[in-house]
Amino acid sequence: MRILKSFVLLWLMLMIFFAQNSRAAGTPSVDEIVKKTNQTVYYQGQDGRAQVKMTIKDQQGNTREREFVILRRNMDDKNEEQNFYVYFKNPADVREMVFMVWKHISKDDDRWMYLPALDVVRQIASSDKRTSFVGSTFFYEDVSGRSLLEDNHELVETTENYYVVKNTPKNPASVEFDSFTMHIHKTTFVPVKVEFEKGGKVYRVSEARKVETISGFPTVTQSSMRDLNGGTETTLDYLKVEYNIGIPDSIFTERFMRRAPRQYLE
């Protein structure tokens, strides 16, 4: 009997040992997964530029397009502080409009919109970050990113190709969703699908439809957002993406919202 008990104890210890080592050598922690995903989506390279075409489809299937350039620069080496600048080229009703963000880790991001018709820069309240970005199905926060500190993260499943992570807001009153679930590719750490849930039902879905390797970085070159309740959909085509082009800090100021830095927008 003693021999049997000793054998069982040894077996349990070995199972725990191999499980821990399998975890260390295989699946990363959920914090490591979401940090790597956040870096892949928003922080690759020291800076970046993208020429983007946005196609907005309404409930009736009618479409309209917007063209803009995204500039961004990381302000530290921790994937936290970052400046973000969006310059609209077309159509005429949004031409020369600018959306700018100073992203922070320990406080609300600062967001501004320059309206050329009025020649005025307006600060966007933090409460508006979950509202439509220039009439599209994307929200302001979808475009510039959401702080990892705002949610609790849980690895709910690991499949052959994906980590499935459920994210629950720490302050539920500040957002319209109960949770959102990311399906993250295990090799590239690109979130290929993000499902937002309310009352147990998925009502918004974001998808990475095309991914390419550019300058060594896995890069989403086409993404979409669908509103399942409203029947609208917006697609973003990243026509030209560049990394580490030397964008100066001075671009991300009110001065260059009013007077666009043309040399960085072509």
Question: What is the domain range of residue 126?
Answer: 41-264
pLDDT tens, 155-204? 999 999 999 999 999 999 999 999 999 999 999 999 999 999 999 999 99
Q: What confidence score (pLDDT) does residue 72 get? A: 97
Q: What confidence score (pLDDT) does residue 27 get? A: 84
Is position 235 within any domain? yes
pLDDT of residue 21 exceeding 50:
no
Is position 18 within any domain? no
pLDDT of residue 25 exceeding 90:
no
Length of the chain: 266
pLDDT of residue 12 exceeding 90:
no
pTM of the entire structure?
0.87
Is position 36 within any domain? no
b/e sequence 175-209, b meaning 16+ C-beta within 10 Å: bebebbbbbbbeebbbbbebbbbeeeeebbbbbbe
Is position 35 within any domain? no
Q: What confidence score (pLDDT) does residue 132 get? A: 96
Cα–Cα distance, 153 to 167 (Å, whole number)? 5
Is position 20 within any domain? no
Q: How confident is the model at residue 8 (pLDDT cuts 50, 70, 90)?
A: very low
Cα–Cα distance, 153 to 234 (Å, whole number)? 27
pLDDT tens, 54-104? 999 999 999 999 999 999 999 987 777 999 999 999 999 999 999 999 998
pLDDT tens, 197-256? 999 999 999 999 999 999 999 999 999 999 999 999 999 999 999 999 999 999 999 999
In the structure encoding, which two tokens stand for residue 233, read together? 């959909």
Which residue, among 181, 234, 213, has the nearest Cα to 34 in the 3D structure? 181
Q: What confidence score (pLDDT) does residue 3 get? A: 53
Which residue, among 164, 202, 167, 166, has the nearest Cα to 183 in the 3D structure? 164
pLDDT tens, 247-258? 999 999 999 999
Cα–Cα distance, 84 to 100 (Å, whole number)? 6
Is position 24 within any domain? no
Cα–Cα distance, 223 to 100 (Å, whole number)? 21
Is position 140 within any domain? yes
**Could you give the number of structural domains in the chain?**
1
- Residue 220 and residue 190 in contact, taking contact as beta carbons nearer than 8 Å: yes
Q: Domain with 175 in it: what CATH number?
A: 2.50.20.10
In the structure encoding, which two tokens stand for residue 266, read together? 């072509």
Q: How confident is the model at residue 23 (pLDDT cuts 50, 70, 90)?
A: very low
Is position 118 within any domain? yes
